[in-house]
Amino acid sequence: EADPDFELKVELYSAGLPGGGAQGSTPKKLATRLSTSLGRSSGRRARAAMEGGPGSPPGTGGTGALLLPPPSVPCPRFQLLAHAALSLAQVHDGFRTHDLVIAADEQSPCWVPLYGRMCCRLAARPSCMDTPAATGTLRLQAPGAEGPSGPPLFCVLRGPGLLCYGSAGEAEAGQEPTLTIAVTKDTRVRAVESGGRGQPPGVAITNRLGGEEVTHTLVAESAAEAQRWLEAFGQHLYDLAQWKQCCEELMRIEEPAPRRPPAP
């Protein structure tokens, strides 16, 4: 999990084995050197023993090559070729091109030609888009009315909206909400004081739609519930403003398919 000020570092490396592919011919080279450095007859016997020829010493049967310890395998040498730093500004729901900072040149032993750019899709899904900031029962108050004028609604504050259901069961079943009130970084939320005669306080949610301001007033069950909703709205609006374009819509994040286990 990352904060809105995250920085994703991308580094591109190349690797090369010192000495190239000469290790595979080491046994034959060793056999040739032994056969030429020893006497003619002794050299032939040594070479035959290593290659499994008919002149192998007793005990080998003339059918198997002399077992030599495997040549040492050198470790690859990794070298940084280029790097880039991506942040919240580069998050987008599509592929984009990003500049690379080249860290190697043609004089480097592991250098490969690069064009100085990379193409990738950087997606982010803030927790405020998936995890409800608050849930509970609210009643919708009609404009101009002094109290709630509708049935109780089970409300879920999540992502770019306040989702209002007929019951908690409808929300858990994933049904379509009865009412959806937009909640964006430009939404204004204020407290609604109690209107007397035992009417509990609530919250007023104001959005600008089509050049006009539209306000939905929701009445809570108690003053403590109204305060809880106000605090949840305040934190949620702050999170939406911090994550900017990541909260305009839910970005799709694909998970790679699990790898199949190797065959026995």
What is the tens place of the pLDDT at every residue in 153-186? 999 999 999 999 999 999 999 999 999 999 998 9
What's the rounded Cα separation, in Å, for the pair 150 and 139?
6
Tens-place pLDDT, residues 182-220: 999 899 999 998 765 656 789 999 999 888 999 999 999
- Across 150-177, b (16+ Cβ under 10 Å) vs e yields bebbbbbbbbbbbbbbeeeebbeeeeeb
Between 184 and 18, where is the model more confident? 184
- pLDDT of residue 21 exceeding 70: no
- Report the run of H or E that residue 225 belongs to, with start and end: helix 223-243
Nearest to 156 by CA among 138, 172, 132: 132
Amino acid at 26: T
Domains of the chain from N-terminus onward: 8-18+74-120 (no CATH), 127-247 (2.30.29.30)
> How far apart (Å, rounded) are the C-alpha atoms in residues 123 and 174?
25
| Single pTM value for the model | 0.69
- Angle among Cα 177, 192, 134 to the nearest 5 degrees reads 40
Q: How confident is the model at residue 72 (pLDDT cuts 50, 70, 90)?
A: low
Token readout for 195 is 């209107």
